[in-house]
Structure 1
Amino acid sequence: MNLIEARKLVHEYIRRDEEGNVEGILAALDGVDLEVKAGEFVAILGHNGSGKSTLAKHLNVLLKASEGTLWVDGKDTLDDNYQWDIRKSAGMVFQNPDNQIIAGVVEEDVAFGPENIGVPTDEIWNRVEKSLKSVGMLGYREHSPNKLSGGQKQRVAIAGVMAMEPKCIVLDEPTAMLDPQGRREVLEAVGALNREKGITVILITHYMEEAVQADKVYVMDHGKVVMQGKPREIFSQVDRLKSYRLDVPQITLLAHELRKEGLQIPEGILTRQELAEALCQLY
């Protein structure tokens, strides 16, 4: 059974002029099909305006479909009776951690979510400790979030979602505002949650390198899913990705250019190690 399943999902925005008259209708999602199994790491890629962030908001019922269906953990997102249950099943981490951190102490911020859903006090602090430990932030539990780096803040935001014990975490461009070190910290924490805890991860990003570790990749353009497959299958199609205004990981691009120059290198190289091994086999 799929943890998340979308069929012909459509989301339309009505555009109005300054006087409130309807100018047109924009389909931010246009017939999207999506399947995510429990425990998978899925990356959703796309240029700005491709619809990927709109899709993310549907997974947490921040938006509802104009047409089509979306099930999260077997529950129909159009059914208002399931809204709260769906939000507990699919936790959301946004681009700016400052928008999610509300308390003056790290451990109090992580405790906020489970406290709001009525978790007993002893269990709350047990969850806080486990969640902070899972993202490598237990040593900062008594710190002020204001004194943390961007990557540390984002890991605290992820811990706050983890304390709710969701089956799935949806991360909407969580590294877009971070420096390279912060990006590495967040991606390592997310990867560990997926590998070691079995948490289903849906990563919305425009950084191609972040999708390399995913089990499955979806590429969106103008509200549609235009490519899907394993990372190696997707990134071996360099020219097609460029037609959707997307880059590929630098190592993949280098291998692609070497192939064009005549070197017998496999398509879909994803890491430095793979490229080094391919070159060693040639010489």
Structure 2
Amino acid sequence: MPELPEVETVRRGLAALVEGKIVTNVVVRYSKMVSPKAEIFAEELEGKKILNVRRRGKYLLIDFSGDYTMVSHLRMEGKYSVVDRHEEYGKHDHVIFELDDGKDLRYNDTRKFGRMNLVHTGEELQVGGLKTIGPEPTPETLTLEYLTHQLRNRKRGMKSFLLDQSMIAGLGNIYADEVLWLSKIHPQQISNTLTDEEIEILRESIFEELQLAIEAKGTTVFSYLNADGHAGSFQNQLHVYHRQGLPCQRCGTPIERIKVAQRGTHFCPHCQVLR
């Protein structure tokens, strides 16, 4: 599933490609993907200008004229691309926004898990997981006081804590593993046992890891592509994710893989000791 760096990369690409363009027609080829009903969804967006492409956590928020905002979640395999209109539809192109410059903004999703919810601007934070989403992982919004309070008042494994979108927005399986390795914290370490120093290191590691991943245009492990149709390159900088059996880049101990919170989890048993 695309995480914050991948969604932010898609956002930046789409902003450059489609902001200011007018939607002349909408083709919905898989009606379960959109809300409200496909006919209404298409009718409301026809003739609207794309004003802004935003992000909140793992969600894309596309603002249109007429006070409409589309909340888009890419889920496991969702991808946006901008192509010439004469190109034939791909098998998994499910929603097509025809633009006034002769191009299409197409949403492709091999597993059909992605969803688009069209709401009035100002109501977007009432959609799905946005209702309870935590702060963005930036120094301004993820304060040391907030993070300390949340960790101290919960008795949860750290991997589970980091994956909880109501605690911190945007972190997923890849970056949770990477952040914990950087912080030398075991993925099953209980949250309220972290020291003040560990919490400070964890917070800084979150900022550092996500910034580097955004600069590398995200991580492509399976099928992620940005809006230009290119893969990210951060997979070349991963320290533990999908590196089971390979030597830890810090101490040389083989990386291990276990299941935590029903997710494959990678860590160094020497650097990340469970207390």
State TM-score, norm by structure 2: 0.28
Higher relative contact order (CA 8 A, sep 6+): 1
